[in-house]
Amino acid sequence: METKRLDESSIQSAVEIIKADGLVAFPTETVYGLGANALSETAVKRVFEVKGRPSDNPLIVHVADFEEVKKYVDEFHPLTEKLVATYWPGPLTLIFKTRPNALPTVVSAGLSTVSFRMPKKKETLTLLRAAKLPLVGPSANTSGKPSPTTADHVFHDLQGKIEGILEGGAATIGVESTVLDISDPTKPPMILRPGAITKEQLEADLGIEVLIDQYLTKESDVPRSPGMKYKHYSPNTKVLMVHEADWSQAVSTLTARGLKLGVMAGPAIMEEVRMDVAATFPFQNDSVEAATKGLFAGLRSLDESLLQLDVILVPTFPEEKLGVAYMNRLKKAAGQQYFGEN
């Protein structure tokens, strides 16, 4: 099958593909999603097949407005209105208890809850409105690989396997949405997956305590979000995390072992090590925002380097605010390994 590259002027083609149970990847502010009609079991099953996604990992349903959610959910958490008014459209996924059989069971992987999000890219909002359908939208990558933050990443993974890619430039955030469980109206909201909407921000805006899945602080626990248990974001090349104070030593020690190094980092670190490594992927600046935006793109770029690197070195950030989401993805990519700890 030919994978068509579409833009906003060809939304109608994208709508036709979706209505015929086809798959169209779409841009969002977090990462690119793999879109399919959430009301069609056939279409949703294809999403799992194409990605190689385990069938026990539920999908997020993307909507053009909150009204769409009301079609599937009867009972809402008292904070729902405030959360939606404050963060939609945006990188916050909300989990609701759905009416039985409101959506095909493949969407929720058999759970009694379904997660919804209203994304912020205008191309995708145009598609959702034109199709007048809710769309599932897991990251548009092969399961286990770094999530795609550009249309080219999607093309690389899924070319020939999906009908179309709606182009919308590079994702501005770079990691997937925050997943917030508000399915039990009697309990405080709980973060199941960290993202750009942080615990600190939610607590400040809502004026209440927000829980965080134990699994995120104690890796030993079973995650409440099924997808979090899978090894994610892994390039083929070994990835090592490097603490701020360890860069010179990391580069000299590993180079002395005869290893070919790739480094992704902001200007401060890059200045220090650039001359001594084989390949680099620069972050735009030294902030955690820039690192988060470049994380998956950098992992992909260095992993595919023709230089055949032995190790990719990536900076750590403090685990607060956006640093929680960044470190959550990086630790998985690095298989928890830091330079200096082995």
Q: Could you list the residues that contact ligand AMP (CB under 6 A)?
A: 57-60, 95, 108, 111, 113-115, 138-139, 176, 179, 192-193, 225-228
Q: What interhelical angle do 322-333 and 288-303 show, nearest 10?
A: 20
Which is nearest to 32 in space by CA: 160, 149, 177, 155? 149
> Cα dihedral angle (9, 12, 18, 21), rounded to 10 degrees?
-130
With respect to ligand AMP, which residue has the nearer C-beta, 139 or 292? 139
Other C-beta atoms lying within 10 Å of the C-beta of residue 112: 10
Minimum separation from the CB atom of position 318 to ligand AMP (A) = 24
Give the nearest residue (CB) to Mg ion.
139
| HSE of 261, CA atoms in CB hemisphere, 13 A | 26
Minimum separation from the CB atom of position 177 to ligand AMP (A) = 7
Which of ligand AMP, Mg ion, none lies near 58, with the C-beta cut-off 5 to 8 A by kind? Answer: ligand AMP
Q: Is 292 in the site for Mg ion (CB under 5 A)?
A: no
Minimum separation from the CB atom of position 71 to ligand AMP (A) = 17
**Long-range CB contact pairs, 284-290, < 8 A, 24+:** 288/317, 288/321, 288/322, 288/323, 288/326, 289/322, 290/266
Minimum separation from the CB atom of position 245 to Mg ion (A) = 33
Q: Which of 139, 183, 198, 225 is the binder for Mg ion (CB under 5 A)?
A: 139
Amino acid at 73: V
Give the nearest residue (CB) to ligand AMP.
227
Other C-beta atoms lying within 10 Å of the C-beta of residue 10: 15
Which of Mg ion, ligand AMP, none lies near 113, with the C-beta cut-off 5 to 8 A by kind? Answer: ligand AMP
Interface residue list for Mg ion (CB under 5 A): 139
